[in-house]
Amino acid sequence: MSETPLTQASAHLRHGANIGQSLTRHEGALKVTGQARYAADHHPAGMLHAVLAVSSIARGRVIALDVAAAKAHPGVVDVMTPAHKPPLAQDPDEKTHPFMFRLDVLQNDRVRYPNQPIAVVIAETLEAATEGAVLLAPRYETEPARTDFPAGAHFTPALVGVADPAEAHHGDVEAGLAGAARRLEAIYETPAQYHNPMEPHGIVAAWEGDTLFIDTPSQGLAMAQARIAGLFGIPPAAVHIRSPYIGGGFGSKGVFSGPQVLGIMAARLVGRPVKLVLRRGQMFGPVGHRAPTRQSFRLGADNAGALTAIGHHTVTASSQHDDFFEPAGGVSHTLYASPAIATTYEAVRLDTGTPLFMRAPGKAAGSIALESAIDEMAHACAMDPLAFRLKNYAEVEPMSGKPFSSKALRACYAQGAERFGWAKRPLAPRQMRDAAGMLVGWGMGTATFPALMFQAQARAVLRADGTGVVETGAQDMGQGAWTALGQIAADSLALDPDRVEFRAGSSDLPDAGIAGGSAHTATAGMAIHGAGADVIARLAELAMGDERSPLHGAGNAGVIARAGRLFRRDDESRSESYVAILARAGIPAIEGHGKSATDPAAQAAYAMHAHGAVFAEVTVDPDLGQLRVTRLVGAFAAGRIINPRMVQSQYYGGMVWGLSFALHEQAVIDPRSGRPMNANLGEYHVPVNADLPSIEAILVEEHDAHVNALGIKGVGEIGITGTAGAIANAVWHATGMRARRFPITLDKLIGPQDN
């Protein structure tokens, strides 16, 4: 089957009627009326309930479980333990690629972190399983927990993130610092954070022989399918995962987790369908988190405020048994021009669940530190923070020297500043008060996130009645993927959306890659675009080759597709409907295929990132330190916008999580036990409506001819990056106090200045 070159095939999209429209959410009515069935809403006949027992220690061994007591409890069917479990075809501690994480699925009696699964109780009811789990009354041999950076030997990780080098240099930082007129050294600390999507990880698993049917939320269906197939020794095609609705993921559902595997093992053990859903507290361990960081900056600037050096050293932590190192240094490669840049890392191993990608991995933690340091340096240079950023505007990507594929950041700065009223900002801190006597501060931050794209496939079918079906195993975590991808699908066939059925959310469909890295719209979208273009190319060939068609002989001039018809490009009065072409040919349907793949030549030639600027206003009670964000204005440029309504919603969400990073989120670890003390949504704070100010997001126009044929960058995570720093800088501007430990809580604003 021949591939249609996208550059040629995409021409008909110039007339695309749907891309760029603010269509409402495809599944909105189903969700608000409670009809959308999430994973845990499924109850196959004969289903049992499984409940995890998890470790209450951080490190040691389970030496006793009262399995007899649990089994004697009415309704309990079985208890799965390291001594009683179905076999796996693959060692869950095996790691054959960087996207594979070691799992805790009862392989032995070791406890490697708090809330690690140590047994699974399976019962007729949720209540019986819950009570049975309590009756296990585990006893432990406990070893001292290692909970903080000083707790172990520091080492340089081989790689950070998925595959970034742990050391990167451009120019000579020491020379840049030595020659600087002004120098800044500052250390910023960010805490461990937990993803906490609204929907917990859950699974309903049913075996039929060696075929497996699963309802579970997943940000990457094909990868989950392959992981499960490997663990259970069955072909990937025998694993059927349904994941049409996901109640948030934030990265925690990007790789298949241990508890989800345990649900499948439990179903295998008892020979009946099993449902297993994590309780909130059980999500603080086996399903990933954002690792803490301590980031040391050394900045130099000359007399005119031009940076001469950026040194960015990150200390972070992984688990004792697996590798994920928060790639916080990456922002310093991209954002500000400097003749010398160095990013380095060291890491320590703690008795914690393995960290994972979480909401702007690397970039969120790196950005809040870099943007704070830039703000401090602007102040040291007696410059307005926006003027300082413009002075150090990166015309090419500083670390790589590559030109940007597109970069409308100047327009973001200008439009955001104008909307916010930034020009009226006094340079010195502690100058503004509101009517109630609260200190008022204004701060800003630059937003940045790479424009990524992964591999994906899609299939499109045009039927004789002129309707279409487009299929890819995409994931809608609530971000609006279903809607946006449906728009791309309709345009790819040049049909109205109500004439194209867009199918997603199942592993039985072509692999749509991962919904992560803010890359899903580009990834799945490009595959869909290619599939539709393939269909149109075949249809055009059919018509042009037929003497009876008005399109006959269109030849190299070609045809264009619009509203269910093909037109001669050189004479639009000659056209024919899809229905007529298929009817005359006597063909019931035309099928096309598409795939997305990054273009290595473009990757080598260009740096590809989305950008933005966020402006924040805060008020601080001068006596009590109470802190509120009262205004946020963000302006973002992220290439072609598929659906402005969905994109604005993504920016709002990102900005809310930026606020959350700056002021709220923090896992508090008990240094004696190593346990998270706030493993619940009462004490692990995320912003609620009452915490949120007026938020505005401006969509800044940007055209990118290189990033992919549709010009799509990601919009999911970028809103976090500028916002967290903008708020931190506004707090300084209000109070004159620089909080360098996040989150910024009121104790840090009224206590002694040791933060």
Residues lying near ligand MOS in the complex (CB under 6 A)? 219, 249-251, 254, 357-359, 361, 516-517
Nearer residue to ligand MOS within complex by CB, 259 or 516: 516
Beta carbons of 459 and 531 less than 8 angstroms apart: yes
| Rounded CA separation 52/279 (Å) | 9
Nearer residue to ligand MOS within complex by CB, 492 or 708: 708
Sign of CA dihedral 66, 69, 75, 77: positive
- As measured in angstroms, the least distance from the Cβ of 64 to ligand MOS is 38
Nearer residue to ligand MOS within complex by CB, 247 or 361: 361
- As measured in angstroms, the least distance from the Cβ of 657 to ligand MOS is 11
- As measured in angstroms, the least distance from the Cβ of 603 to ligand MOS is 19
3-state secondary structure 716-728: CCHHHHHHHHHHH
Strand 559-562 to 500-503 pairing: unpaired
- As measured in angstroms, the least distance from the Cβ of 521 to ligand MOS is 13
| Rounded CA separation 664/596 (Å) | 38
Q: What's the length of the chain?
A: 755
| Rounded CA separation 323/156 (Å) | 12
CA 253 to centroid of chain Cα atoms? 10
Beta carbons of 502 and 485 less than 8 angstroms apart: yes
- As measured in angstroms, the least distance from the Cβ of 474 to ligand MOS is 14
Nearer residue to ligand MOS within complex by CB, 517 or 674: 517
Residue 393: both structure tokens together: 């505007």
Nearer residue to ligand MOS within complex by CB, 214 or 358: 358
| Rounded CA separation 249/361 (Å) | 13
- As measured in angstroms, the least distance from the Cβ of 100 to ligand MOS is 16
Would you tell me how many other CB atoms lie within 10 Å of the CB of residue 66? 14
Nearer residue to ligand MOS within complex by CB, 102 or 359: 359
Would you tell me how many other CB atoms lie within 10 Å of the CB of residue 469? 17
Q: Which long-range contacts (CB under 8 A, 24 or more apart) does 153-159 make?
A: 153/348, 154/315, 154/346, 154/347, 154/348, 155/346, 155/347, 155/348, 156/344, 156/345, 156/346, 156/347, 157/318, 157/323, 157/325, 157/345, 157/346, 157/347, 158/323, 159/98, 159/323, 159/325
Nearer residue to ligand MOS within complex by CB, 162 or 411: 162
| Rounded CA separation 324/591 (Å) | 41
Nearer residue to ligand MOS within complex by CB, 65 or 358: 358
Q: Which of 645, 700, 707, 466 is nearest to 18 (CA)?
A: 645
Element (H, E) at 61: strand 60-64
Q: Which of 314, 386, 19, 367 is nearest to 154 (CA)?
A: 314
Nearer residue to ligand MOS within complex by CB, 283 or 629: 283
End-to-end CA gap in the chain: 63
Nearer residue to ligand MOS within complex by CB, 272 or 290: 290
Residue 509: both structure tokens together: 């469909």
- As measured in angstroms, the least distance from the Cβ of 390 to ligand MOS is 30
Cα-based distances in Å from 613 to 335, 350, 711: 12, 36, 21
- As measured in angstroms, the least distance from the Cβ of 250 to ligand MOS is 6
Q: Residue with the closest Cβ to ligand MOS? A: 251
Residue 402: both structure tokens together: 């590559």
Nearer residue to ligand MOS within complex by CB, 326 or 376: 326
Nearer residue to ligand MOS within complex by CB, 392 or 475: 475
- As measured in angstroms, the least distance from the Cβ of 217 to ligand MOS is 12
Q: Which of 350, 443, 286 is nearest to 147 (CA)?
A: 350
Nearer residue to ligand MOS within complex by CB, 308 or 316: 316
The residue written with tokens 């910023």 in the block is 188
Would you tell me how many other CB atoms lie within 10 Å of the CB of residue 718? 33
- As measured in angstroms, the least distance from the Cβ of 317 to ligand MOS is 18
| Rounded CA separation 567/12 (Å) | 10
Please report the beta strands in 209-277, taking only residues with DSSP state E, as ranges in sequence order.
211-215, 239-242, 274-277
- As measured in angstroms, the least distance from the Cβ of 10 to ligand MOS is 27
Sign of CA dihedral 741, 743, 748, 750: positive
| Rounded CA separation 229/222 (Å) | 10
- As measured in angstroms, the least distance from the Cβ of 638 to ligand MOS is 15
- As measured in angstroms, the least distance from the Cβ of 653 to ligand MOS is 12
- As measured in angstroms, the least distance from the Cβ of 454 to ligand MOS is 11
| Rounded CA separation 658/665 (Å) | 10
- As measured in angstroms, the least distance from the Cβ of 290 to ligand MOS is 9
Nearer residue to ligand MOS within complex by CB, 81 or 219: 219
Nearer residue to ligand MOS within complex by CB, 290 or 294: 290
Nearer residue to ligand MOS within complex by CB, 207 or 357: 357
| Rounded CA separation 703/568 (Å) | 28
Q: Which residues contact 382 (CB under 8 A, 6 or more apart)?
A: 427
Beta carbons of 481 and 647 less than 8 angstroms apart: no
- As measured in angstroms, the least distance from the Cβ of 195 to ligand MOS is 8
